[in-house]
């Protein structure tokens, strides 16, 4: 069943309705609720800036006048995780910091996305030691990895556009339905 659905919904930009329209000979225009839903979500990321290290400087630059993340509708920081959609993990996560990150992730209301900003968040970077988490994907699911030490603002914007494409492609069956929180034991 799921395979059939996947094969049917191939188109990324219009929520996978092209096949159905062709079957009906173009006599009707079809769209899906998830298309408008995804459209709204991709242009309205309220971020939670989880800034722990030097990448924060580059994050400020992305939000500042020259690169301006607000153009993509993603510049409204909400410091309460309940209201945020996009968890920006900016910088090194030490093992001491890890439970806090997991807690913040679990506190966020669905739908939520995670953005690993910089090589330390992606893989631990050159901090290959006992104190640093080797990539935040060992703790929480990550949607977009942007490496670099620190990443250029252009890379961050590229990552954000990729995330927007990912959101646009997400389907009704992928939407969270009360998934259990990430365990805090690691």
Partner 1 sequence: MAANLIESIVKILFIFSVNIGFFSPILGWVERKQSALMQDRVGANRADVCGFTLIGLFHPIADAIKVLTKEDFIPEGADRLFHTIAPFISLTPAIITFAVIPFGGQYELFGHHVNLIIADLDVGILFVFAFASLASFGSVLAGWSSNNNWSFLGGLRASAQMLSYEVVMGLNIIGVIMVYGTLRLSQIGAMQADFFNWGIFLQPVGFVLFFTCAIAENKRAPFDVAEAESELVAGYFTEYSGMKFVMFWMGEFLEIVTIGALVTTMFFGAWHLPFVSDQMLLNYFRFAGPNGAASLAIVVNIITFFSKVIFFIWLQMTIRWTLPRFRYDQVMRLGWKMFLPIALINIFITGVVILAK
Binding site for partner 1 (CB under 8 A): 36-37, 39-44, 64-65, 68, 70-73, 75-76, 78-80, 82-83, 85, 109-111, 176
- Residue closer to partner 1 (CB basis): 44 or 138: 44
Q: Which is nearer to partner 1, 76 or 134 (CB)?
A: 76
Q: How far is the CB of 124 from partner 1 (least distance, A)?
A: 29
> Is the CB of 44 or the CB of 173 nearer to partner 1?
44
**In the complex, what is the shortest distance from the CB of residue 60 to partner 1, in angstroms, rounded to a whole number?**
12
**Rounded Cα–Cα distance for residues 139 and 182 (Å):** 8
Task: Tell me whether residue 77 or residue 148 sits nearer to partner 1 (CB atom).
Answer: 77
Smallest gap from Cβ 107 to partner 1, in A, equals 9
Residue written as token pair 């990539």: 135
Cα 80 versus chain centre, distance: 17
CB of 151: closest distance to partner 1 in angstroms? 20
Sign (positive/negative) of CA torsion 79, 84, 86, 87?
positive
Q: Would you state the structure tokens that stand for residue 85, as one six-digit string?
A: 């959609």
State the number of CA atoms in the 13 A half-sphere of 67 facing the CB: 17
97/132 with CB nearer partner 1? 97
Report the nearest approach of partner 1 to the CB of residue 175 (Å).
9
Q: Which of 114, 132, 135, 115 is nearest to 123 (CA)?
A: 135
- In eight-state DSSP terms, residue 49 is E
Tokens 């929480």, residue located: 140
């Amino acid at each position: 069943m799921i395979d059939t659905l996947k094969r049917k919904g191939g188109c990324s930009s219009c929520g996978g309705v092209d096949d159905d329209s062709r079957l009906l000979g173009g006599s009707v225009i079809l769209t899906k609720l998830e298309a408008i839903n995804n459209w709204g979500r991709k242009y309205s990321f309220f971020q939670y800036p989880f800034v722990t290290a030097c990448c924060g400087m580059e994050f400020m630059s992305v939000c500042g006048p020259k690169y301006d993340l607000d153009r993509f509708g993603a510049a409204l920081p909400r410091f309460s995780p309940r209201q945020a959609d996009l968890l920006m993990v900016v910088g090194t996560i030490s093992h001491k910091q890890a439970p806090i990150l997991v807690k913040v992730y679990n506190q966020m209301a669905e739908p939520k996305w995670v953005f690993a900003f910089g090589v330390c968040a992606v893989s631990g970077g050159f901090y290959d030691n006992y104190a640093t988490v080797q990539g935040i994907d060992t703790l929480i699911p990550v949607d977009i990895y942007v490496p670099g030490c620190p990443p250029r603002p252009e890379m961050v914007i590229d990552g954000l556009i990729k995330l927007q494409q990912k959101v646009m492609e997400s389907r009704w069956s992928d939407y969270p339905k009360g998934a259990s929180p990430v365990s805090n034991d690691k």
